[in-house]
Amino acid sequence: MTAADPPIPPAVILADAQMGENIGAVARAMANFGLTDLRLARPRDGWPNARAYAVCSGATWILDAARVFDRVEDALSGLTRVYATAARDHAMAKPVLTPEAAMARIVEDGRAGATAGIVFGSERAGLTNDDVSLLDGIVTIPGDPRFMSMNLAQSSVVIFYEWRRLAVAAPSETLDLGKTGLADKAELLGFFEHLERELDDAGFLFPPAKRDSMIRAIRAPLHRAQLSEQDVRTFRGIVTALTKRPHAARKQQAELIAALKAAGKGDG
Amino acid sequence: MTAADPPIPPAVILADAQMGENIGAVARAMANFGLTDLRLARPRDGWPNARAYAVCSGATWILDAARVFDRVEDALSGLTRVYATAARDHAMAKPVLTPEAAMARIVEDGRAGATAGIVFGSERAGLTNDDVSLLDGIVTIPGDPRFMSMNLAQSSVVIFYEWRRLAVAAPSETLDLGKTGLADKAELLGFFEHLERELDDAGFLFPPAKRDSMIRAIRAPLHRAQLSEQDVRTFRGIVTALTKRPHAARKQQAELIAALKAAGKGDG
């Protein structure tokens, strides 16, 4: 494992999962965020389940590799730290963590070469108190306390998203400029000076005492726009078109008149 | 608005939403995370939509208040910053942000009293290039590049979760000890000293040169366990039971023998 590899992802344990659709949705969410190890404890409708395959959106390799266990405790073998997601109060003295706090520890374990686990209870009853007693803590997704109604598919997406957010660094902002790159400072400055020359000619940068602050006010948003080389060409073209408009219009007018005359001659 | 209030949540704009089920799922996710302003641009099957109500899990107030618009640009009125979620490459020079980076700015706007917006495209075609040109950036959920297949319901949950994570501070870890509180240091120390006295008697803390480091090694995990008052009582009971075992067992044995004798007499 190199430094660039993501840490070992957690295993996902579904306890008493009832609907095949939910198992398929969890597999799809696992695949989206790079998790692979699915363990089913007492799946209600047996295994394999055609409904799970029907809704997994092609994440079949997760379902193919899923292992089935009779008891939740058997499904936890080989795992170090194990958290369960639950909204219900189990009245047990277990730490309750945000997804962020729990996944931060699971990522830490994964970087150290250990496999952690995340247990999801059944859709209807959640986890039993016996199941909860096996665990290191409860993960609860913070939401509006007046309305928390998340199904297995939704809560698994949030948890796996949070794992990947912490596990794999992603650039927070990128700008895809297509074929052309960001304009270099010389191109940008050339454009600014072109624009300001024309604004001086037009008497816009007036009075002189305010000229510098007006120029800063014009340059600041154009800097923020992160103009590409192509953008700079486009904007220089716009400045040229606007300043040359009287000449160009006169030239076009002259051409049209000439064309009209020629047409008149041809007709006459 | 006090400092404790959450910032103004973003408006949610669904462009060309096709299935009522998806509109209902988005409403449910909005309610989970405290968003309220739903705007529908060109909903394919008209509005209101019975399927949306059927799957919203009771978040009907969001659907009741939803507004319908003919064009995406009309639905953006009153909004300052607007991002769209998309996985597809629109080949337009728009900043591409993580959910975290985009929601951080939307939270900032909301704290300043401004309403931002999040646009979701249609399930099949995503957003048109005209729609994208109206926006401040694209939000892309980072995932496994080999398999990114998220539907509207899933991606909206992630985006709204991320908004609330940044908007509303939640304690990263809490411990619900039920009726009894965390043991205070005196109770904890009383238990440690009780245990260590018995271990001294049992010859466990030996040799004396290692006694201090052994005690530290015993106390450390018990500290980490964050014992409640009830836990301390339970553990003191365990120490007492284990150390008094020979006496208790002898006492029970004597009682049993006496009972047996008494029974023998009654029978004889």
pLDDT (0 to 100) of residue A223: 85
Does position A88 have pLDDT exceeding 60, yes or no?
no
Backbone angles phi, psi at B6, to 5 degrees: -70, 155
Distance CA B156, CA B164 (A): 12
Contacts of A166 (CB under 8 A, 6+ apart): A100, A103, A104, A107
Distance CA A264, CA A262 (A): 5
Residues linked to residue A38 through DSSP beta bridges, in sequence order: A12
Distance CA B142, CA A172 (A): 10
By CA distance, what is A91's nearest residue in B?
Answer: B178
Distance from CA of B183 to the nearest CA of A (A): 13
pLDDT (0 to 100) of residue A87: 64
Q: What is the pTM of this model?
A: 0.80
Interhelix angle B152-167/A152-167, rounded to 10 degrees, is: 60
DSSP SS3 for B59: coil
Cis peptide before A48 (omega within 30 of 0): yes
Does position A18 have pLDDT exceeding 90, yes or no?
no
Distance from CA of B218 to the nearest CA of A (A): 20
pLDDT band for position A263 (cuts 50, 70, 90): confident
Does position A3 have pLDDT exceeding 90, yes or no?
no
pLDDT (0 to 100) of residue A1: 46
Q: Which long-range contacts (CB under 8 A, 24 or more apart) does B198-204 make?
A: B198/B239, B198/B242, B198/B243, B201/B243, B202/B243
pLDDT per position as a tens digit, A36-77: 999 999 998 999 999 999 999 999 999 999 999 999 999 999
Structure tokens at B134: 């109206």
Q: Among A139, A73, A140, A69, which residue's Cα sits nearest to residue A106?
A: A139
pLDDT (0 to 100) of residue A261: 85
Residue B97: exposure state from Cβ atoms within 10 A (0-12, 13-18, ≥19)? buried
Question: Please, what are the averages of pLDDT over each run of 10 residues along chain B (268 residues)?
Answer: 75 91 96 97 93 96 97 91 77 84 95 94 77 86 89 95 95 75 87 91 88 90 85 88 71 80 67
By CA distance, what is A164's nearest residue in B?
Answer: B143
pLDDT (0 to 100) of residue B254: 77
Strand A117-120 relative to strand A11-15: parallel, antiparallel, unpaired?
A: parallel
Over residues A15-43, the mean pLDDT reads: 94
pLDDT (0 to 100) of residue B221: 86
Strand B117-120 relative to strand A38-41: parallel, antiparallel, unpaired?
A: unpaired
Q: What is the mean pLDDT of chain A?
A: 87
pLDDT (0 to 100) of residue A170: 85
Q: Are the beta carbons of A98 and B170 separated by less than 8 Å? A: yes
pLDDT (0 to 100) of residue A91: 60
By CA distance, what is B177's nearest residue in A?
Answer: A93
pLDDT (0 to 100) of residue A173: 84
pLDDT band for position A247 (cuts 50, 70, 90): low
Nearest neighbour of B143 by CB, restricted to A33, A149, A226: A33
Nearest neighbour of B100 by CB, restricted to A142, A144, A172: A172
Contact, B51 vs B19, CB < 8 A? yes
Residue B9: exposure state from Cβ atoms within 10 A (0-12, 13-18, ≥19)? buried
Name every chain B residue with its beta carbon within 8 A of the beta carbon of A176: 89, 91, 93-94, 96
Cβ neighbours of B129 (radius 10 Å): 9
pLDDT per position as a tens digit, B198-236: 888 888 888 889 999 999 988 888 888 888 888 898 898
Q: Which long-range contacts (CB under 8 A, 24 or more apart) does B141-144 make?
A: B141/A161, B141/B85, B141/B87, B141/B98, B141/B99, B142/A164, B142/A165, B142/A168, B142/A170, B142/B98, B143/A32, B143/A33, B143/A34, B143/A161, B143/A164, B144/A31, B144/A32, B144/A33, B144/A34, B144/A164
Distance CA B7, CA B166 (A): 10
Contact, A24 vs A30, CB < 8 A? no
Name every chain A residue with its beta carbon within 8 A of the beta carbon of B58: 147, 149
pLDDT (0 to 100) of residue B54: 96
Q: How far apart are the first and last CA of chain A?
A: 87
ipTM: 0.79
Distance CA A86, CA B134 (A): 40
pLDDT band for position A268 (cuts 50, 70, 90): very low
Cβ neighbours of B33 (radius 10 Å): 27
By CA distance, what is A224's nearest residue in B?
Answer: B95
Name every chain B residue with its beta carbon within 8 A of the beta carbon of A85: none
